[in-house]
Amino acid sequence: MLTKVRESFTGRGKTHSSWHPSFGHENNQEGPLGSLILNQQSQYVVNSSRILEYVREVRLALRLGKRDFNVCFVGDSRIKRLNSIYRGKDRPTDVLSFPWQAQEKQPPRRLGSKRARPELVSRSTSDRPAREFQNFLGDIVISVDAAKRNARKEGHSALNEIRWLILHGLLHLLGYDHERDHGEMIELELALRKRLRISGD
């Protein structure tokens, strides 16, 4: 999945502010329904086709319908800067989520219920952006450096770690928050790992 090009810990993070990745970088690919895979680091080669394949699978598993999201790969220095700006934590992390709109989460239903995902209430200050991006969930930013370190620690492949991070970031985009809930997000995340055959067991 990742091939080292030249030499080159951290908990999962999130933020509810917006950011703007710079486009025009090499190895950017468009995925299903307009999802973009953006590679903004040069330490490792990212196999975008494998990532896009997984994005399709996770979209189906979560029944996203027309809703889409972007995945952006960066290095430790970039994600450290973002973590500092948006979360006030001056250290690198492995994944950050940037929802397109501020969202309020109702208490999520249990995993076995008819609807496992939380109800989202969007607050939009402008009708036009809301219409243009009504199906856009936001951006997931992943540090490839941290993903490689996490993979070594967990004893699985870097590709599997990237899949875990995409899933984790996407659940944040959908309104879940493991820092504030009562274990619902972690329960759902572990169940989805098994369903997607990426549990690493």
- Which tops the pLDDT comparison, 36 or 141? 141
Residue 98 belongs to domain with CATH number: 3.40.390.30
Residue 24 domain-assigned (yes or no): yes
Q: Span 172-185, mean pLDDT?
A: 93
Q: What is the mean pLDDT of residues 43-52?
A: 89
Sign of the torsion angle spanned by Cα atoms 20, 26, 29, 30: positive
Please report the pLDDT score of residue 14 as a whole number. 42
Residue 128 lies inside a defined structural domain of this protein: yes
Asked whether residue 185 is domain-assigned, the answer is yes
Looking at residue 34, its amino acid is G
Within a domain: residue 201?
A: no
Please count the residues of the chain.
201
User: In angstroms, rounded to a whole number, what is the distance separating the alpha carbons of residues 180 and 169?
Assistant: 15
Predicted TM-score of the model (pTM): 0.73
At residue 188 the predicted structure's pLDDT band, cuts being 50, 70 and 90, is very high
Q: What is the pLDDT of residues 122-164, one digit of tens each?
A: 444 555 656 667 789 999 999 999 999 999 999 999 999 999 9
Residue 126 lies in a domain: yes
Instruction: Yes or no: say if 116 and 108 are a contact pair by the CB < 8 Å rule.
Output: yes
- Three-class HEC string of 28-69: CEECHHHCEEEECCCCEEECHHHHHHHHHHHHHHCCCCCCEE
Q: Over the stretch 163-174, which tens digit does the pLDDT of each residue have? A: 999 999 999 999
- Residues 45 and 43: their CA atoms lie apart, in Å, by 7
The range of the structural domain enclosing residue 90 comes to: 2-195
Residue 194 has pLDDT above 60, yes or no: yes
Say yes or no to pLDDT of 101 above 80: no
Window from 18-32, 118-132, 153-167, 186-200 with minimum mean pLDDT: 18-32
Predicted pLDDT of residue 126: 54
What pLDDT, on a 0 to 100 scale, did the predictor assign at position 115?
A: 40
> How many domains is the chain built from?
1
